[in-house]
Chains A and B, each alone.
Chain A
Amino acid sequence: MQAFEYANPATLPDALGLLASEWGPTDVLAGGTDLLSLMKEYLHTPKRVVNIKGIKELAGIQKTGAGLRIGALVTMDEIATNAEIRNEYKSLADAAAGIPSPQIRHMGTAGGDLCQRPRCWYYRQGFGLLATKDGQPLVPDGENKYHAIFGGGPAYFVSASSLGPALIALGASVKLVSAKGSRDVPAAKFFVIPKDERTREIALRPNEILTEILVPGAATKSATYEVRQKEALDWPLAVAAVALRMNGATVTSAKVVLGHVAPIPWEAAAAGKLLAGKTITAATAEAAGKAAVEGAQPLSQNAYKTQLAKVAVKRALLDAVKARA
């Protein structure tokens, strides 16, 4: 790891004042589970690391008039075990509880989950976000078992965020703050498919800090279903998060968002549309799963993901209506 300066600001303005205006020289540290891995591999070589763990206003989960506020420093364990979230925003609790180990859930933060870099093995080996060598893309003819089936390139990594799909389905937004002010960005606009190596996969700017997540009031039933190869210590192969607004047993509107199938959490609009006006049964859930994966473009080794995503949608829907409203 390259040597760096460790800054330990106690306030948000102090922290913001320590960030550079371009990517590279500075990095924000919270739980550290991703940043340390990136630094060990020399993928990030910051001159200054800004630890934001001491900034008290970034902690805590609060019910507000508009819904729920989740501070960026809230750990994944807190999200998985918080009673309010488990009861009213089940898809978020599901997503956080799905994270591999208690250790990672204790360290990893909500903000870090959204800002973590892709886990694509080409990216982690230094071939960049678009995974190219001598200008040629490596993924389409390479080891693409865990890569995207949506998006169509040139980026083929999958968004690693656990909370992303559930937050988009719930219509959440994130607050991004810089020294000059703050902006609320819908979770759906926070994730970006990069077109070149200079673009980040998230809307955050280098001089900004993601301070909180705002989830609107829960008049919804929601669930997240992850398909994994094993129960412990692994990334999901395919994920579906669903959020349903209901009138009795009838769906008035639905959002279905897939995870680990595209460089961003992938909203399956067709599936949501299909469910409006229906009740959730095994048959409608299956039809929604089918609609969700229409247009998938699997690579040479990952056609299996289409089937897994389809089943994940079905199971998430059936789970959501089982859960209490």
Chain B
Amino acid sequence: MRTMELRLNVNGSAQRWTIAPGELLLDVLRRQGYFGVKRGCEKGECGACTVLVNGRAVNSCLMFAAQAEGAHVLTIEGLAEGEKLHPIQEAFLDHGAVQCGFCTPGMALSAKALLDRCPHPTDAQVREAMAGNLCRCTGYLKPVEAVLAAASGMAKPPRKRRAKAEVTR
């Protein structure tokens, strides 16, 4: 098998890896232990494999690792600073925006890419930025709320429990 050298920066550390030309960025990152990069549809439809390449959200399943030569890649493992979670991660926890968790790394990274460019987004801008990240558990309301809260710096907004809908037959 032909191999080639790949130099890139992942989560702030310079890396030099040996890869095959046909390997996906998704596969190479997982082989190197970045398991927060999730393998979902592998067709660019679900966004579970989202990473930031030079600050932009991309699907790592639709990208050869070789295309990341010289790039700065951010995976979910690079979002927290040691034990200290990123405000987006805190907000996801506070808002119950995580259910099974499979889509969460991609969602958090799409949110990070948005907030880096647009620190005070509208609801519509958040929804647009997260449009490439599918959740199959529950939905998008809580993640959207979490991102808006992270943006406004409210770690724990007062949040009333919703009254249960009355069921009448």
Q: How large is the interface on A (under 10, 10 to 19, 20 to 34, 35 or more residues)?
A: 20 to 34
Complex: how many Å from CA A8 to CA B66? 9
Binding stretch for chain A, among B76-84, B96-104, B125-133, B156-164: B125-133
Does B105 count as interface, using CB distance less than 8 angstroms? Answer: no
| Contacts A1-B22, A4-B21 given; does A100 touch B59 at CB 8 Å | no
Asked whether, in the complex, the Cβ of A104 is within 8 Å of the Cβ of B64, the reply is: no
Q: Using a Cβ–Cβ cut-off of 8 Å, how many residues does chain B contribute to the interface with A? A: 31
Does A249 count as interface, using CB distance less than 8 angstroms? Answer: no
Which A residues from 222 to 264 make CB contacts under 8 A with B?
Answer: 231-233
Asked whether, in the complex, the Cβ of A101 is within 8 Å of the Cβ of B47, the reply is: yes
Complex: how many Å from CA A103 to CA B21? 22
Complex: how many Å from CA A233 to CA B47? 10
Asked whether, in the complex, the Cβ of B131 is within 8 Å of the Cβ of A107, the reply is: no
Asked whether, in the complex, the Cβ of A33 is within 8 Å of the Cβ of B132, the reply is: no
A101's nearest neighbour on chain B, judged by CB, is B132
Per-residue A-contact encoding for B39-65, CB less than 8 Å = 1, 0 else = 000111101001000001111011110
Asked whether, in the complex, the Cβ of B69 is within 8 Å of the Cβ of A8, the reply is: yes
Contacts of B110 in A (CB 8 A): 102-103
- Tally of A-B residue pairs with Cβ under 8 A? 82
Asked whether, in the complex, the Cβ of A232 is within 8 Å of the Cβ of B132, the reply is: yes
Asked whether, in the complex, the Cβ of A103 is within 8 Å of the Cβ of B59, the reply is: yes
Contacts of B59 in A (CB 8 A): 33, 103-104, 107
Contacts of A233 in B (CB 8 A): 45, 131-132, 134
| Contacts A4-B21, A102-B57 given; does A32 touch B131 at CB 8 Å | no
Complex: how many Å from CA A134 to CA B69? 45
A5, A6, A102, A106: the one contacting B64 at CB < 8 Å is: A6
Does B67 count as interface, using CB distance less than 8 angstroms? Answer: yes
A40's nearest neighbour on chain B, judged by CB, is B42
Per-residue B-contact encoding for A19-32, CB less than 8 Å = 1, 0 else = 00000000001001
| Contacts A40-B42, A51-B66 given; does A3 touch B58 at CB 8 Å | no
Does B165 count as interface, using CB distance less than 8 angstroms? Answer: no
Asked whether, in the complex, the Cβ of A3 is within 8 Å of the Cβ of B1, the reply is: yes
A6, A39, A53, A232: the one contacting B131 at CB < 8 Å is: A232
Q: Quick one: which of A1, A51, A53, A101 has the most chain B CB within 10 A?
A: A101
Does A36 count as interface, using CB distance less than 8 angstroms? Answer: yes
Q: B26 to nearest A CB, angstroms?
A: 11
A6's nearest neighbour on chain B, judged by CB, is B21
Contacts of B21 in A (CB 8 A): 3-6, 49
Q: Quick one: which of A4, A29, A36, A100 has the most chain B CB within 10 A?
A: A36
Asked whether, in the complex, the Cβ of B64 is within 8 Å of the Cβ of A29, the reply is: yes
Complex: how many Å from CA A306 to CA B69? 46
Complex: how many Å from CA A33 to CA B43? 9
Does B4 count as interface, using CB distance less than 8 angstroms? Answer: yes
Complex: how many Å from CA A233 to CA B131? 7
Q: Which residues of B contact A (CB under 8 A)?
A: 1-2, 4, 20-22, 24, 42-45, 47, 50, 56-59, 61-64, 66-67, 69, 110, 113, 128-129, 131-132, 134
For the complex with contacts A102-B129, A104-B62, 19 further pairs of A-B residues with Cβ separation under 8 Å are A3-B2, A3-B20, A4-B22, A5-B2, A6-B21, A32-B67, A33-B62, A51-B66, A51-B67, A100-B131, A103-B47, A103-B57, A103-B62, A103-B110, A104-B44, A106-B56, A107-B58, A107-B63, A233-B131
List the 9 closest A-B pairs by CB distance, nearest first. Answer: A101-B132, A6-B21, A232-B131, A106-B56, A103-B132, A103-B59, A1-B22, A33-B62, A36-B62
Can you spell out 21 A-B residue pairs with CB atoms less than 8 angstroms apart? A2-B22, A6-B4, A8-B69, A29-B64, A32-B62, A32-B63, A33-B44, A36-B24, A40-B42, A49-B21, A77-B56, A101-B47, A101-B131, A101-B132, A103-B58, A106-B58, A231-B131, A232-B131, A232-B132, A233-B131, A233-B132
